[in-house]
């Protein structure tokens, strides 16, 4: 499975580990909040709605950060933008440890989200342009598995801190440790090189580097790019919408309608995290074997089937616990596939802008899917509402990916565009 790693160069490996480390540390910092919500609620006597507002504000800020960082990576370079975004989210995570009230925490957590979203966008483009064509899908999908590594680390840190310290101190120490990602900047500065693909850009793509940021935004909506951008954004909506509709309400469904207390234990978290990790690795292999479109289609269809089975079949307590594995497995495969596909849809001069927009537009709009589940559950069971909502989202994924070209093997140094999206792009010749 990892034979490809021995075939890449030293610079490719260093870039891989820089992005893997960045995304794992991103996940560590982001997942900490969901674990310490009870302690924060208790300390400041805030409501669940106020706690939810923190998550919503962070999500929107991360989307804006990703979009802006994508544009900056087209103007300032991938490596420099990656360094700035890592420093940004690390510093504001650290400052969260010293907040004295809810408004301060809300502001700083929102700013943390801005940096988090930016780091993904800059790292995704850097990774895609550095790794050779035949291994790009495997590398991008494997890097996405770093989210599970950071998530697991956050759970272990939570268990350690809350077993050694009182709650009002433990959550602050956890956020204080969030400064650690800043050390990644030293590794990036010493070991990661800026991709040289700018030498292969077309004359039009070069011109965009001298244009203001508004020119980059206009560029991804130019006549020969508009349809690609809109469909890519639609894919992002479906992918994020299905994930958040499912993962936001699933614990409540299992507790209130299935009465499965075992799912509140660490065993449930272990199953979900392990499944997410495995889903990323398997999709990484499939991306370069069967292509981007077939991989996303397979995972999307399996998501619909798994969600329906999980929500409507009369499964017992233990069965629900173990059935969480395929649920998390298939839910992970789609996000792990989008990095490679989105990067291959755009020429170099606007790649960061395009990737940042498609991925993060979906992230913003997806915030409405959990709200829709809550609204629908007033007139039907929560399980039915989740099933309809998630199935709708993954149906959007299927529809949108069918309208995009297959891009496996495309050389990112080539800025040529295929304006007829119904025809697959011709893969680059192998050397």
Report the CATH number at residue 186: 1.20.1250.20
Residues 75 and 27 in one domain: yes
Does any domain span residue 202?
Answer: no
Task: Dig out the tokens for 6 from the structure.
Answer: 């021995």
Task: Dig out the tokens for 265 from the structure.
Answer: 């234990």
Does any domain span residue 13?
Answer: yes
CA-wise closest residue to 317 among 250, 268, 269? 268
Residues 244 and 164 in one domain: no
Query: How far is 386 from 257, CA to CA, in rounded Å?
Result: 12
Q: Looking at the 3D structure of the chain, how many domains does it have?
A: 2
Residues 186 and 250 in one domain: no
Residues 163 and 308 in one domain: no
The predicted structure's pLDDT at residue 401? 92
Does any domain span residue 350?
Answer: yes
* Non-local CB neighbours of 395 within 8 Å, separated by 6+ positions: 238, 304
Query: How far is 29 from 153, CA to CA, in rounded Å?
Result: 10
Q: Alpha carbon of 10 to those of 5, 78, 128, 191, 409: distances in Å?
A: 10, 18, 15, 9, 21
Does any domain span residue 429?
Answer: no
Residues 219 and 177 in one domain: no
Burial 20-50 (b: 16+ CB within 10 A, else e): bbbbbbbbbbbbbbebbbebbeeebebeeee
Residues 242 and 378 in one domain: yes
Does any domain span residue 365?
Answer: yes
Does any domain span residue 85?
Answer: yes
- Asked if residue 39 lies in contact with residue 171, where contact means CB atoms within 8 angstroms, the answer is yes
Residues 94 and 154 in one domain: yes
Residues 175 and 28 in one domain: yes
- Phi/psi for 287 (5° steps) reads -55, -40
Does any domain span residue 220?
Answer: yes
The predicted structure's pLDDT at residue 431? 42
Residues 40 and 172 in one domain: yes
Query: How far is 352 from 75, CA to CA, in rounded Å?
Result: 9
Does any domain span residue 334?
Answer: yes
In whole angstroms, what separates CA 63 from the centre of its chain? 10
Please calculate the CA angle 127-132-136 and round it to the nearest 5 degrees.
60
Instruction: State the residue range of the domain holding 388.
Output: 214-423
- Asked if residue 245 lies in contact with residue 370, where contact means CB atoms within 8 angstroms, the answer is yes
* Non-local CB neighbours of 321 within 8 Å, separated by 6+ positions: 260, 262, 263, 267, 268, 271
Residues 259 and 392 in one domain: yes
Residues 137 and 226 in one domain: no
The predicted structure's pLDDT at residue 247? 72
Query: How far is 385 from 380, CA to CA, in rounded Å?
Result: 7
Residues 229 and 187 in one domain: no
**What does pLDDT average to in each consecutive run of 10 residues of the chain (431 residues)?**
82 88 81 81 83 79 85 82 87 92 92 84 85 87 89 86 90 89 77 63 45 60 86 91 78 68 60 89 92 92 85 73 83 87 82 85 81 81 84 91 86 48 42 42
- Asked if residue 339 lies in contact with residue 290, where contact means CB atoms within 8 angstroms, the answer is no
How many C-beta neighbours within 10 Å does residue 137 have? 32
The predicted structure's pLDDT at residue 413? 57
CA-wise closest residue to 240 among 93, 400, 114, 107? 400
For residue 365, the SS3 value is: helix
The predicted structure's pLDDT at residue 263? 46
């Amino acid at each position: 499975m990892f034979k490809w790693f021995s075939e890449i160069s030293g610079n490719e490996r260093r870039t891989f580990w820089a992005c893997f480390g960045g995304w794992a540390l991103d996940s560590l910092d982001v997942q900490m909040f969901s674990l310490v919500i009870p302690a924060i609620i208790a300390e400041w006597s805030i409501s669940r709605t106020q706690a939810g507002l923190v998550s919503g504000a962070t999500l929107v800020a991360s989307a804006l950060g990703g979009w802006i960082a994508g544009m900056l990576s087209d103007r300032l370079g991938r490596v420099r933008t990656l360094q700035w975004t890592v420093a940004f989210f690390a510093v504001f995570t650290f400052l969260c440890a010293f907040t004295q009230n809810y408004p301060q925490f809300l502001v700083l957590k929102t700013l943390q989200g801005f940096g988090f979203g930016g780091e993904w966008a800059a790292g995704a483009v850097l990774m895609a342009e550095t790794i050779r064509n035949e291994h790009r899908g495997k590398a991008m999908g494997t890097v996405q598995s770093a989210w599970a590594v950071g998530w697991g680390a956050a759970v272990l840190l939570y268990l350690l801190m809350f077993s050694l310290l009182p709650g009002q101190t433990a959550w602050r120490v956890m956020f204080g440790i969030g400064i650690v990602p800043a050390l990644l900047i030293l590794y990036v500065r010493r070991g990661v090189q800026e991709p040289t693909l700018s030498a292969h850009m077309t004359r039009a793509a070069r011109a965009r580097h001298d244009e203001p940021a508004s020119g980059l935004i206009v560029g991804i909506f130019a006549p020969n790019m508009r349809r690609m951008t809109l469909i890519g954004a639609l894919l992002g909506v479906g992918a994020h919408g299905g994930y958040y509709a499912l993962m936001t309400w699933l614990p409540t469904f299992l507790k209130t309608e299935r009465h499965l207390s075992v799912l509140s234990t660490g065993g449930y978290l272990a199953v979900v995290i392990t499944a997410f990790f495995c889903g990323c690795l398997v999709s990484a292999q499939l991306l370069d074997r069967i292509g981007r479109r077939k991989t996303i289609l397979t995972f999307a269809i399996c998501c619909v089937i798994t969600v329906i089975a999980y929500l409507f079949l009369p499964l017992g307590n233990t069965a629900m616990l173990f059935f969480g594995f395929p649920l998390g497995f298939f839910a992970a495969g789609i996000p792990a596939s989008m990095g490679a596909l989105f990067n291959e849809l755009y020429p170099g001069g606007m790649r960061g802008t395009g990737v940042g927009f498609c991925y993060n537009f979906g992230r913003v709009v997806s915030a409405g899917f959990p709200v829709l589940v809550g609204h629908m559950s007033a007139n039907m069971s929560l399980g039915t509402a989740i099933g309809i909502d998630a199935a709708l989202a993954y149906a959007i994924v299927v529809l949108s990916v069918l309208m995009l070209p297959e891009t496996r093997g495309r050389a990112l140094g080539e800025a040529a565009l295929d304006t007829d999206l119904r025809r697959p792009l011709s893969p680059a010749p192998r050397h």
